[in-house]
């Protein structure tokens, strides 16, 4: 687990569902038995020494009113869709629990930016824009083939990469049934490849915890 500073103080930690119970035990050992309170984002833990931990419900998991229920719900097997996109690369997958059961990765050619000016720059910009649109259309086709058939069994769609690129792909009207499943979480991933997609399954299932010490 790698801690990251949080805006406003504290630190973010991503905890694997299978290790969450142990993490809570360690939090209790350091700060005392916490009081758990259900919230809109998940569960809020308040320890006797003033330390707090916000446990955010992972995408697709059921809400829980107490700590035992939260741990169980976070670790429960569920089917989620994954859409990772950055520039001209896209990786789409369906995961059942921790296992990736279907995937497709594709890379299209989109020219890099140029320092040329005048008409040349304008022609280049139009060509680059057309290439980006074609790449997004191809990515939407992959999502249609892979994600739409599984939409009825998925509990969430987790996206990652560049938000603008992801939004452009999901603007395709054919993908409208996926929009209600889209999770707020946007995974920070490098250029999508199959290995990145496999790692994203664990990242999508992780419990995000905001810890603030007394």
Supply the CATH number for residue 188's domain. Answer: 3.30.420.60
Torsion on CA atoms 186, 79, 156, 191, rounded to nearest 10: 20
pLDDT in the model for residue 87: 80
Residues 95 and 163 in one domain: yes
Q: Scanning the structure block, which residue is given the tokens 């560049």?
A: 162
Give the C-alpha separation, 70 to 2, whole Å.
22
Sign of CA dihedral 186, 177, 148, 74: positive
- C-alpha to C-alpha distances, 112 to 64, 151, 162, 191, nearest whole angstrom: 47, 35, 16, 15
Do 43 and 127 lie in one domain? The reply is no
Place of tokens 């142990």: 22
| Domain extent at residue 199 | 79-204
pLDDT tens readout for residues 33-59? 999 999 999 999 999 999 999 999 999
Q: Is the pLDDT of residue 19 over 50?
A: yes
Residues 6+ positions from 43 with CB-CB distance below 8 Å: 36, 37, 54, 55, 57, 64, 66, 67, 70
Are residues 97 and 165 located together in one domain of the fold?
yes
Domain co-membership, 98 together with 149: yes
Task: Say if residue 72 is in the same domain as residue 98.
Answer: no
| Mean of pLDDT over the chain | 89
Residues 28 and 96 in one domain: no
- Both 32 and 101 in one domain: the answer is no
SS3 66: coil
Average pLDDT for residues 204-214, to the nearest whole number?
96
Cβ(90)–Cβ(111) below 8 Å: no
pLDDT score for 137: 72
pLDDT in tens, 154-194: 999 999 999 999 999 999 999 999 999 999 999 999 999 99
Asked if residue 110 and residue 50 are part of one domain, the reply reads no
Q: Where are the alpha helices (DSSP H) in 10-100?
A: 20-31, 67-75
Asked if 120 and 38 sit in the same domain, the reply is: no
What pLDDT does residue 3 have? 82
Closest CA to 135 of 186, 81, 191, 179: 191
Pick the residue with more confidence: 68 or 135?
A: 68
Tell me: do 50 and 8 sit in the same domain: yes
Instruction: Please answer whether residues 91 and 168 qualify as being in contact, where contact means their C-beta atoms are separated by less than 8 angstroms.
Output: no
Give me the mean pLDDT over the 24-32 stretch.
97
Tokens of 117: 């000016």
State the pLDDT at residue 135. Answer: 57
| pLDDT for residue 18 is more than 90 | yes
Is residue 57 domain-shared with residue 91, that is, in the same domain? no
Whole-model pTM: value is 0.86
Per-residue confidence (pLDDT) for residue 119, from 0 to 100: 45
The pLDDT, as a whole number, for residue 110 is 44
Q: Is 199 exposed, middle or buried (0-12, 13-18, 19+ CB in 10 A)?
A: middle
Considering its fold, how many domains does the chain have in total?
Answer: 2
pLDDT, tens only, 106-159 = 985 444 555 454 445 655 455 555 545 555 678 899 999 999 999 999 999 999
CB 17 within 8 A of CB 74: yes
**For residue 168, how many other CB atoms are within 10 A of its CB?**
18
pLDDT computed for residue 88 by the predictor: 78
């Amino acid at each position: 687990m790698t801690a990251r500073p949080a805006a406003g103080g504290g630190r973010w930690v991503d905890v694997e569902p299978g290790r969450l119970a142990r993490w809570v035990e360690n939090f209790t050992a350091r700060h005392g038995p916490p009081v758990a309170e259900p919230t809109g984002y998940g569960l809020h833990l308040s320890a006797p020494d003033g330390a707090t931990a916000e446990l955010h419900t992972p995408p697709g998991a059921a809400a829980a009113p107490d700590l035992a229920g939260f741990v169980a719900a976070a670790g429960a097997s569920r089917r989620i869709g994954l859409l990772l996109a950055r520039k001209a690369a896209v990786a789409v997958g369906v995961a059942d629990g921790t296992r990736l059961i279907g995937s497709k990765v594709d890379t299209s050619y989109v020219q890099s930016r140029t320092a040329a000016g005048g008409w040349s720059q304008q022609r280049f910009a139009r060509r680059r824009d057309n290439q980006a649109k074609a790449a997004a259309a191809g990515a939407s086709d992959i999502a249609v083939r892979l994600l739409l058939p599984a939409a009825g069994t998925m509990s969430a769609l987790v996206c990652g990469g560049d938000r603008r690129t992801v939004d452009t792909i999901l603007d395709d009207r054919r993908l409208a049934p996926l929009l209600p499943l889209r999770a707020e979480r946007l995974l920070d991933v490098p250029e999508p490849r199959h290995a990145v997609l496999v790692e994203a399954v664990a990242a999508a299932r992780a419990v995000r915890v905001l810890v603030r010490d007394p």
